[in-house]
Amino acid sequence: MRKLTLEEGKIAVKLARESIEHYLETKNIKYKRLEGVFAEKRGVFTTLLKKGELRGCIGFPYPTKRLDEAIVESAIAAAVDDPRFEPVKLSEMDDIEVEVTVLTPPEKIAAKPKDIPKFIEIGRHGLMVKLGPFSGLLLPQVAVEFGFDEIEFLSETCMKAGLPPDCWLTGAEVYRFEGQIFKEDLPRGEISEVKLKF
C-alpha cells in the first residue's frame, strides 16, 4: 500500500476542512470525486485541534470506503458527532487546525498476551483493542504525545474501549496499524506531513 505524497496529503486536509465548513454552513454533505489514491479504499481519521487541545476525532479504522468519501464523512463526524464534545460552530473554524491520518489496514497481533508489547513500536503503530461488543482505538500520535510506553499504550487503548486496562492480557484482541499524518501548521495555514519522533 503506497504512501501519499505531500501534495496528496495537502489535498486530503483541504478536503476535510472544506467538507466541515460546507456542512456547518448548509447542513448538507458535499462529496468530491478525486482520482488516484483517493479512489482507493483506505481507513482514515480526522482530528480537530483548537489551541493545541483536542476538539474532535472520528474516523474509519478499516478500508471500507473510498478515501475521498471517508475523509468527507470522518471530517464532518469529528466536527459534529464526537460524543466527548459539543458540535463545532462555524465561527470556531478560524481557530481549529485540521489533521488527517490515513491508515494501513489493522492487523491482529497473533502472539501470547504477555508478548504483545514486543510487537508494538511507539511512534510507528496505532492500536485497536476488541473484546465482545467493545472496541477502542488510539492513533500512533497519541502514544508519542503522552509519552506512553508499550504497556501504557495498551492499557490506555483498553480503557478507551471501556474495558479494564489489563484486558489485553485476559483475552482481548489487539490490532496494530500505521498512520500517515498530514496537518495544518496553523488554522488554514501551511499543511505538512507530521513525522513522529520516537
Q: What three-state secondary structure class fits 111? A: coil
* pLDDT of amino acid 197: 75
- Residue range 94-119: mean pLDDT, rounded: 98
Nearest to 141 by CA among 82, 195, 84, 73: 195
* pLDDT of amino acid 1: 82
Domains in the chain, please, with CATH?
Answer: 6-104+179-194 (3.30.700.20), 107-177 (3.30.1490.150)
- Residue range 84-106: mean pLDDT, rounded: 98
Task: Note the Cα 169 to chain centre separation in Å.
Answer: 25
pLDDT band at residue 198 under the 50/70/90 scheme: low
DSSP string, 115-171: GGGGG--TTTEEEEEEETTEEEEE-HHHHHHHT--HHHHHHHHHHHTTS-TTGGGTT
> What tens digit of pLDDT does each residue of 43-87 get?
999 999 999 999 999 999 999 999 999 999 999 999 999 999 999
Helices 67-80/6-26 angle, 10° precision: 50
> What tens digit of pLDDT does each residue of 9-31 get?
999 999 999 999 999 999 999 99
- Residue range 111-117: mean pLDDT, rounded: 97
Pairing of strands 191-194, 173-184: antiparallel
20's grid cell: 466541515
Average pLDDT, the chain: 97
56's grid cell: 474532535
Strands (E), the chain: 43-50, 53-60, 96-103, 107-108, 125-131, 134-138, 173-184, 191-194
User: Is the pLDDT score of 119 beyond 90?
Assistant: yes
126: Cα within 13 Å, side-chain hemisphere? 26
> What tens digit of pLDDT does each residue of 136-186 get?
999 999 999 999 999 999 999 999 999 999 999 999 999 999 999 999 999
Amino acid at 162: G
Q: Which helix (H) or strand (E) holds 112?
A: none
